[in-house]
Amino acid sequence: MDLLLRFIVGGTVVVLFAALGDVLKPKSFAGLFAAAPSVAIATLGLAIVGEGTPYAAVEARSMIVGAAAFFFYAYVCTYVMTRYRAAAGRTAITGLLLWSAMSLTGWFLVLR
């Protein structure tokens, strides 16, 4: 039941932010919504209710590292799409490996 609630809340918040990004112009501004804290709002909200604020605060602290990895990931995607004329979907999906590697390295160096 908890997982189903998590799924519905997460999916709904993601769709709301995505729809907001779809109706805004110019493109680079709409892109801000691709980095919206949709999963974070859903997860932290549920963590506050279920596990309490100290638990949610630890998650939020780790999220700073994940966000730094997101910055480099999005920049590398921009560069690869512009410089090498790579397809957007393939670049973004392959780039998730970079995000994972950077996040885990950050976790190992700073948070462990």
Partner 1 sequence: MRIKLNLAALKGIHWYEYLLRFLFGGAVTVGTGLLAKKFGPAMGGLFLAFPAIFPAGVTLVQKHECEKKKHRLGIVDHERGRKAAALDARGAAMGSIGLAGFAGSAWLLLTHLGAWSLLAALAAWVALSISAWRISKLRHRFTR
Between residue 12 and residue 71, which ones bind partner 1 under the rule CB under 8 A?
Answer: 12-15, 17-19, 21-48, 51, 53-71
Minimum separation from the CB atom of position 101 to partner 1 (A): 12
Taking alpha carbons only, the member of 20, 63, 24, 21 closest to residue 41 is 63
Report yes or no: 62 and 107 within 8 Å, Cβ to Cβ.
yes
Residues 6+ apart with CB under 8 A from 92: 77
Q: The tokens of 15 are what?
A: 């769709």
Kindly write out the interface string for residues 87-106 of this chain, putting x where it contacts partner 1 by CB under 8 A and - elsewhere: xxx-xxx--x--x---xx-x
Minimum separation from the CB atom of position 70 to partner 1 (A): 4
Q: The tokens of 33 are what?
A: 């919504």
Minimum separation from the CB atom of position 102 to partner 1 (A): 10
With vertex at residue 99, the alpha carbon angle to CA 101 and CA 105, rounded to the nearest 5 degrees, is 35
Report yes or no: 106 and 62 within 8 Å, Cβ to Cβ.
no
Question: Does 75 contact partner 1 by CB under 8 A?
Answer: yes
Minimum separation from the CB atom of position 50 to partner 1 (A): 9
